[in-house]
Amino acid sequence: MAEIVVMYKTPKDPAAFDKYYAETHVPLAKKMPGLRKFQVSQGPVATPAGPSAFHLIAILTFDNMAAIQKAFGSAEGHAAAGDLPKFASGGADMLLFDTREV
């Protein structure tokens, strides 16, 4: 499997972020071809030392890295990526990687 982890930094208006993310961005992202699973954090995102700079973490699962590349190359992937500036006022970091069970 392969995953994308999107770490959304605290936005200027957290309530507006949450509303837009749930009502607009998630439905867009769920249309990406090859998406197997879509998880988001619930409640505060913390570190072992306490609060973090992140408001929300999203984890999207695909079969492999080729499926991620295909998804982002699609019209649906372009729509989801292009939507970020509309709500992620704090910015976002994105990590992509293959996974294996150990």
pLDDT digits (tens, 9 = 90+) for 36-81: 999 999 999 999 999 999 999 999 999 999 999 999 999 999 999 9
Q: Strands 92-98 and 46-47: what pairing? A: unpaired
The length of the chain, given as a count of residues: 102
What does the pLDDT read at residue 42? 96
- Per the structure, the count of domains in the chain is 1
Q: Sorting pLDDT into bands at 50, 70 and 90, what band is 1?
A: very high
- The percentage of residues in the chain with a pLDDT greater than 90, rounded to a whole number, is 100
What does the pLDDT read at residue 7? 98
For the domain that residue 67 is a member of, what is the CATH number? 3.30.70.100
Mean pLDDT calculated for residue range 24-34: 98
What does the pLDDT read at residue 64? 97
Q: How distant, in Å, are the alpha carbons of 4, 5, 20, 22, 82 from that of 13?
A: 25, 22, 11, 14, 20
The whole domain housing 71 covers 2-98
Q: Residue holding tokens 């998630």?
A: 26
Question: What's the mean per-residue pLDDT of the chain?
Answer: 97
**Confidence (pTM):** 0.93
